[in-house]
Structure 1
Amino acid sequence: MENTIYLDHAATSWPKPPAVGEAMMNALQFAGANPGRGSHRMAVQASRVLFETRKGLATLFGIKNPNDIAFGSNTTEALNLAIQGVLQEGDHVIATMAEHNSVRRPLEFLRRQGKIEVDYVPVTAYGAIDLKQMERMFRKNTRLVVCTHSSNLLGSILPIGEISELCRQHHALLLVDAAQSVGIMPVDVGKLGIDMLAFPGHKGLLGPQGTGGLYIAPELDVQPLLHGGTGSQSEAVEQPKVRPDRYEAGTPNTVGIAGLGAGVKHVLAMTPASIYQHEWELTQLIMNGLSSIKGIQLLGPDIGQPRSGLVSFIIEGYDSAQLAFRLDRNYGIAVRSGFHCTPLAHESAGTTATGAVRASVGYNSSHEEVDELIRAITELTAVK
């Protein structure tokens, strides 16, 4: 894949920093035992791998106690843990129409069972929400607000701080889906007033697939999603109360978490603020270049406005999937096409019938790669 121009970082970042693979191989060779399940040197080293990664994440997210971070396999698992772990029968939830299916489907599952009620705040075609409209949706039984930090289709960045204020005023919890923001822009759970933060390891944090987790505020009691062995309090019939053991039943992905730790170190060294600026500049180049193509519709915030490192678009008369296929086969450019697991956002953007092509940049993307994307799309649309 040496000649691939990879513009699908919103799905998974690639290639990873060399230190990520090195850390994984080192863990496989020297920390290959079960963490927390023994006192021999290799088991202790495996435990150290998990703790050091937790420390790095705590530094990145402004978390005081690293043990308030529970590791899991991805953002979806983290969101399910949060949603199913705090909601009870009769609760009301507010979400937005920008949400990914990893939020919508767990909520709708509970609603179909008659356990909860859900309202979705409308999103404009540019990805914005009306905070006053959101405030009118709060009820006495509103237990939880679930909100994506940045839309994986539109690239818009939602006002988490203001949403958090509304939650405080109405005594509701705030769960943030940070799949498109962690590692890419500054995220401080204390400053933003976030009760739970679900995050992936394989995107902006530059770790491998199969890693992720959930931050849970220290005063919050969340019921475990999984029950089983933890290596601690084995004599008890119930899950232990101590964190993070309470939320990490079974043997963890130590090798993957070692890679995640190396990715987090890379992000901390570069700083999320500088990564955001780099990606934002590249998205502006993409938008400026694409806007000159006849019949194109760019989704999300206008040129010059804040957005995460992705640009979604459709071109009148062109099938999105076919366009993405030709970019890959003819030019070696990897982008994403389809509905991006967020049907309500497509409804907001008016692209339910077409889907969209999404080009997403990363920390290692270049101006030259963006130029190649614009050139390729210009050529493809010119020969129809």
Structure 2
Amino acid sequence: MIYADNAATTYFKPEKTIAAVCEYLKHPGNPGRGNNHMAMDAARMVLDTRIKLADLFDCDFDHVVFTSGVTESLNTVIQGLFGPQDHIITTYMEHNSVLRPLYRLGCRLSVCGGSTEEIKKHIRSDTKAVIINHVSNVTGEINDIEGIGKFCRQNGLLSVADTAQSAGVLPVSLKESELDVICFTGHKGLLAMQGIGGICLGEDIDIRPLKVGGSGFASFDTEHPKQYPSALEAGTLNVPGIVSLNRSLDFLKECGIENILRHEQLLAEEFCRILSSFDGVKVYREKEKEYTGIVSLNVEGMDAAAVSDILSREYGIETRAGAHCAPLIHEHYGTESTVRFSFGINNRKEDIRECSEALKEIIKIRGHEA
């Protein structure tokens, strides 16, 4: 099998990550819910993971909040900061995890490209924030969140970055970029398990909790605690998920995310170079922009789902077809779906050759059938 669906979830998980989760499940302590040694060990591990994430995202460790993933993170932030009276600038590259909460709130929206210059054109007197993904989950296009964060700070706007496709692959610094909020997930570039993610908050950001309940302390108070991270962490944490993040962060530090990025980019660039000689293949990339290891394409005259199905059934190549929960970028490119190859740390140059050969054969068969 050639796994080229890392944008959905990474196939490779470090052995130490897997072992640590299995070991925790033998001694499943609940942090903040007891003074027994298992609960205390779990609490220390959770704190250690916050510190590691704070180091990765360059923020204060007590402003690292755990969630079930980037969807919950974005819902918490959007519904906790904004209302229908607010004007929000976002991009056509956004995932439905951004768009649907905004639609649900009834915010006044302006949708544009992902550059600072594009964003400038849409600022109004009632503009409150810019919400943008760091990397498009459809094309892999990298947006300049550092420049946008600084621009927002200079203009009194809040800035929220969705790093679902960049955390663990690209450097992300909350303080250097002057971003207000970073939302992340664990099961993609961070190489952890599904069901864990989080929010990194800058100073003076006051978010209404999406949910309230048990906090492990101040149980007689009628209101949920207001201090971070407890303010946004009602209920029992996903401790196995946090354990997986803890160990995967160690692995990423040893590898160096800059090395992972270059590896994935080289694979994608080689794939696109080969595809450029194929007739009837449309690749959704623009020469002047920078991309990660994601490549979306269509084969002329063929449904994207059919291409992806053939790749899987006949060649053992796992991709994803569809709109990828990002409708506006498909409208931008005039398509309803694409075949997405997303290369990761687990892929090698041999995979690129086999993917290319498979597509060549599919195109040849399509030509005979036509």
TM range (shorter): over 0.9
Count, aligned residues: 366
Q: Secondary structure at the match of 2:179?
A: coil
Structure 2: 5+ residue stretches without partners: none
CA distance in 1, matches of 2:117, 2:343: 33
Q: Which residue is 2:147 aligned to?
A: 162
How far the C-alpha of 1:266 sits from its partner, in A, is 1.0
* Among 2, 10, 18, the residue aligned to 1:13: 10
* Among 338, 345, 348, the residue aligned to 1:356: 338
CA distance in 2, matches of 1:44, 1:169: 43
CA distance in 1, matches of 2:329, 2:18: 35
CA distance in 1, matches of 2:309, 2:105: 37
Matches within 5 A, 1:237-252: 237-252=222-237
Deviates more, 1:204-213 or 1:362-371: 362-371
Q: Which residue is 2:164 aligned to?
A: 179
Q: Which amino acid letter does the alignment assign opposite residue 326 of structure 1?
A: I
Q: Which residue is 1:126 aligned to?
A: none
Q: Which residue is 2:56 aligned to?
A: 60
**Alpha carbons of structure 1 residues 130 and 45: separation in structure 2 relative to 1, 3 Å:** closer
Q: Secondary structure at the match of 1:383?
A: helix
CA distance in 1, matches of 2:86, 2:289: 36
Deviates more, 1:205-214 or 1:164-173: 164-173
What is the root-mean-square deviation of aligned Cα atoms in Å? 1.3
* Among 347, 357, 363, the residue aligned to 1:375: 357
Deviates more, 1:155-164 or 1:355-364: 155-164
Q: Which residue is 1:291 aligned to?
A: 276
How far the C-alpha of 1:183 sits from its partner, in A, is 0.3
CA contact (8 A) 2:83 2:105 kept: no
How far the C-alpha of 1:9 sits from its partner, in A, is 0.4
2:326 maps to 1:331? no
Q: Which residue is 1:343 aligned to?
A: 327
How far the C-alpha of 1:169 sits from its partner, in A, is 2.8
2:296 maps to 1:312? yes
CA contact (8 A) 1:177 1:197 kept: yes
CA contact (8 A) 1:98 1:344 kept: yes
How far the C-alpha of 1:195 sits from its partner, in A, is 0.6
Using the size of structure 1 for normalisation, the TM-score is 0.93
Q: Which amino acid letter does the alignment assign opposite residue 372 of structure 1?
A: E
Using the size of structure 2 for normalisation, the TM-score is 0.96
2:67 maps to 1:76? no
Structure 1: 5+ residue stretches without partners: 124-128
Matches within 5 A, 1:149-298: 149-298=134-283
How far the C-alpha of 1:69 sits from its partner, in A, is 0.8
Question: CA deviation digits over 1:126-159, x for unaligned, max 9?
Answer: xxx4533321311222111100111111211111
CA distance in 1, matches of 2:116, 2:175: 21
2:110 maps to 1:119? yes
